[in-house]
Structure 1
Amino acid sequence: MSEAAFRALYRRLRDQAPEGLDQRRGALGRLTPERVVAAAAEVRCGRTVSLAALIETTPGPDNPQPASHRMTAPTSGQHDAPGLRFALDRFAMNVHGDADSHLDALCHVIFDGELHGGVPASSVTPDGAGALTLDLVRDGIVGRGVLLDIPRLRGVPWLEPGDHVTTEDLVAAETAQKVTVGPGDLLFVRVGHRRRRRSLGAWDAAQARAGLHPTTMGFLAERRVAALGSDGNNDTAPSAVAEVPFPVHVLAMHAMGLHLMDYLDFEELAPECERQDRWHFLCVIAPLRLPAATGSPVNPIAVL
């Protein structure tokens, strides 16, 4: 895709944002109380499924700076001491890596010197972001989740790195799974990244990964989804736009105001949806309360 075509698509998606939508909340404004109530009615059997991968603390080709976890108490010699003791630990991570499940706040993407909605990039300082931060989702994201399984559609276990999910794939998956993505939905797109990683081992996903083609953002805009998540990075590598490394991030977050969730895990959810022949569910997403942050580790829960 040429840079000129990308920028034309960017302008079209940015300019067709509905009037009255709160730019500070982006597409989350589509999650009206009525839609949340309707999403609660999606629950049938009460089965809960995590959509997050295990946080890893061992370095790998896709995770050179893994999360760190260490015990701070009890110290040596305290284990058998009489009286009360507490086990204590400390945790730190690089939120926007290529291995751990995380949610991107709208301040994460800077494009042409601005954040979503024309907010100046200078609002992001060494002390934290001053606008469009994780605080926008402090009350969580709750709505109807829809999983579109592209490897299932194509009859393969996973998409190979570099392969693109197209708009035609998304529409065909809807038909095959007897589900329709609609306004306010939380759309999850499986490319099989986690299954490939477990089967073949980790690789440098920064250089090669399956993802959505930038033109699929037109489908998301047409269906008026509220958020997007994938078991990959959402963006393909190498990029479909040579001059823009993460075109889906730019289009979804910067132009459309969509919160993104990267590197989720659908390998438990997809078989359960298959078994129930039902690919929509209540979804509850609760990021950490980090008011000036650009993202958070996340553990979305599907309730079927």
Structure 2
Amino acid sequence: MTISRWKQRPAASNWGDFGPDDQLGSLNYITPDVVRRAVREVRTGRSLCLSLPLDYPGGNVLNPRRHPPRLRPTERDGRLVYNLPLSASAHEHTDVLCDDSVLLHTQYSTQWDSFAHVGHRFDVQGDGNPVAVYYNGFRAGVDVVGPGDPDGRPMGAHRLGIETFAVKAIQSRGVLVDLLASCGRERVYVGYDHLMRALDVARVEVEPGDILCLYTGFADMLLEMERQPDPHLLERSCAVLDGRDARLQQWIVDQRIAALCADNYAVEGIPATAASMPCARLPLHELCLFRYGIPLGELWYLAELAAALKAEGRTRFLLTAPPLRLPGAVGSPVTPVATI
């Protein structure tokens, strides 16, 4: 298949399979039938928040370029609008107002990655000249505009922005895999064999359109650290996927999951296991965001859900998790809701 943006696609990819201008990738697997199937998982009607407080993990020692939210009041006539009487006299209007603004790093805490979050240099024209592109061949500098691009257009993801996920209104069946049960808090790179054993032990079944959620205990540790994360302890703790495991990669693709989420940073292990150069530093991000359009969710809070499902002998639930409808953003905070 040839599309105007590219003459060749990565050998292992689905570029163009959902149409030449597709920006949803595997979210296309969430059909009305899949949503109805997800709704049937609701038995008790109990809803659980799957987001950390958005000021976690705390500070910026885990990622120097990302900082906690900064809240401040808005202003009205030079006055800060917080506990602000609408009228100077109590004999007039009795209203007292609070109104605030926030400086928010979109991928600081519980989040979705958009497909514009990670691209790669790839020879899309087959002329021996790799260029920076993203899922489905959308171009850096054309579709994803940076501060140094010359044509003067506003910076941001003009294609593949997070708002496309919001318009899709992500809602599907979630499937929880408890890796904490098999790994404890030890840092384990989970490959295909380990994951298959975990699925078999818990009798987990994954079907097309499901959102796969991995519980490792990492977010629990962040909460215990109370906004003072210990990077040296965390980098040695809790399960991560082995992003270079070829069989694991193929399994993720073959399941036709709608998205892949975890309660840790990046879902995959950083650093990745060794490989010959040139290669992706984040191979699972390359697979999911770049080649197949599989959204990644990071730093989700899954402990309460894991306990509730275990008590009922279940692994499936209704998951509702749209991001902010923020045009041009490459990621977004999310407050996922599990209903069981």
Q: TM class, shorter-chain normalised?
A: 0.7 to 0.9
Query: Who wins on radius of gyration, i.e. which is larger?
Result: 2
Name the residue aligned to 2:117.
108
Name the residue aligned to 2:5.
none
Separation of aligned partners in 2, 1:46 and 1:265: 19
Equivalent runs, 1:1-304 vs 2, <5 Å: 11=10, 13-14=12-13, 19-20=17-18, 23-56=22-55, 58-62=58-62, 64=64, 65-72=67-74, 73-75=80-82, 78=85, 82=90, 83-97=94-108, 100-112=109-121, 113-122=132-141, 123-125=143-145, 126=147, 127-139=155-167, 140-154=169-183, 156=184, 158-160=185-187, 163-199=188-224, 202-204=229-231, 210-214=239-243, 215=245, 216-232=248-264, 233-241=266-274, 243-304=279-340
Separation of aligned partners in 1, 2:321 and 2:166: 10
Structure 1 residue 184: Cα displacement: 0.7
Structure 1 residue 18: Cα displacement: 9.0
Aligned residues: 288
Secondary structure of 1:268's counterpart equals helix
Separation of aligned partners in 1, 2:12 and 2:174: 23
Q: Which deviations, in whole Å up to 9, do the C-alpha atoms of 1:71-120 show, x marking residues without a partner?
A: 334458749963212111111221233xx001111111121111011111
- As a proportion of its length, which structure holds more helix? 1
TM-score normalised by length of structure 2: 0.77
Cα distance change on mapping 1:75 and 1:287 into 2, 3 Å: closer
Cα distance change on mapping 1:77 and 1:252 into 2, 3 Å: closer
Structure 1 residue 169: Cα displacement: 2.3
Q: Which deviations, in whole Å up to 9, do the C-alpha atoms of 1:221-279 show, x marking residues without a partner?
A: 11110101111121212222465332211111101101111111111111111111101
* Deviates most, 73-82 or 140-149: 73-82
Separation of aligned partners in 1, 2:85 and 2:12: 60
TM-score normalised by length of structure 1: 0.85
Secondary structure of 1:182's counterpart equals coil
Identity, % of aligned positions: 27
Secondary structure of 1:222's counterpart equals helix
Extract unaligned runs of 5+ from structure 1. Answer: 1-9
Secondary structure of 2:249's counterpart equals helix
Cα distance change on mapping 1:86 and 1:275 into 2, 3 Å: same
Structure 1 residue 149: Cα displacement: 0.8
Aligned partners of 2:158 and 2:328 also within 8 Å: yes
Cα distance change on mapping 1:81 and 1:262 into 2, 3 Å: farther
